[in-house]
């Protein structure tokens, strides 16, 4: 397997819902494992919480996520941003529409001073996304 760079996102108990949402946005195969799946006794209240989730898409995207482990503090959204970039404007705009739906747009998806179309939003789970549509070179 080649090395890959992908975000790993911690959630405050709603990792399953978040990972299913991202599967709806990007498609692909989602594998989730709960604390209870690993054979040892799960911490109280954690049997159904996600210990590890991974979404792999046909476009080559990989997104991992889990519920915060017991006893750790959750710091939502401000410690991670996920970047989507490329030159397929229709595809990237489709992701933008789904990710920003129900969330908050901080930078509208529009042409920027560097020539690309860029936008930034926070989705309904508190995750910040940056979408950059590159100017196609002719």
Identify the CA nearest to 109 among candidates 99, 101, 98, 120.
120
- HSE-CB of 10 using CA atoms within 13 angstroms: 12
Tokens 């690993």 locate to 38
- pLDDT value at position 69? 81
- pLDDT value at position 41? 76
- pLDDT value at position 55? 97
Q: What is the mean pLDDT of each run of 10 residues along the chain (138 residues)?
A: 77 94 97 85 86 93 89 73 90 96 96 91 91 78
Distance of CA 88 to the CA centre of its chain: 19
- pLDDT value at position 101? 96
- pLDDT value at position 137? 57
Name the pTM for this structure: 0.76
């Amino acid at each position: 397997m080649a090395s890959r760079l992908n975000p790993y996102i911690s959630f405050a108990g709603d990792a399953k819902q978040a990972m299913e949402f991202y599967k709806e946005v990007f498609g692909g195969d989602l594998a989730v494992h709960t604390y209870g799946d690993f054979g040892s006794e799960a911490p109280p209240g954690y049997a159904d919480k996600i210990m590890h989730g991974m979404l792999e898409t046909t476009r080559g995207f990989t997104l991992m996520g889990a519920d915060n482990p017991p006893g750790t503090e959750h710091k939502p959204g401000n410690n991670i941003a996920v970047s989507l970039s490329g030159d397929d404007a229709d595809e990237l705009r489709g992701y933008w529409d789904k990710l920003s739906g129900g969330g908050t747009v901080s930078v509208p998806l529009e042409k920027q001073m560097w020539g690309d179309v860029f936008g930034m939003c926070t989705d309904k789970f508190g995750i910040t996304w940056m979408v950059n549509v590159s100017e196609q070179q002719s």
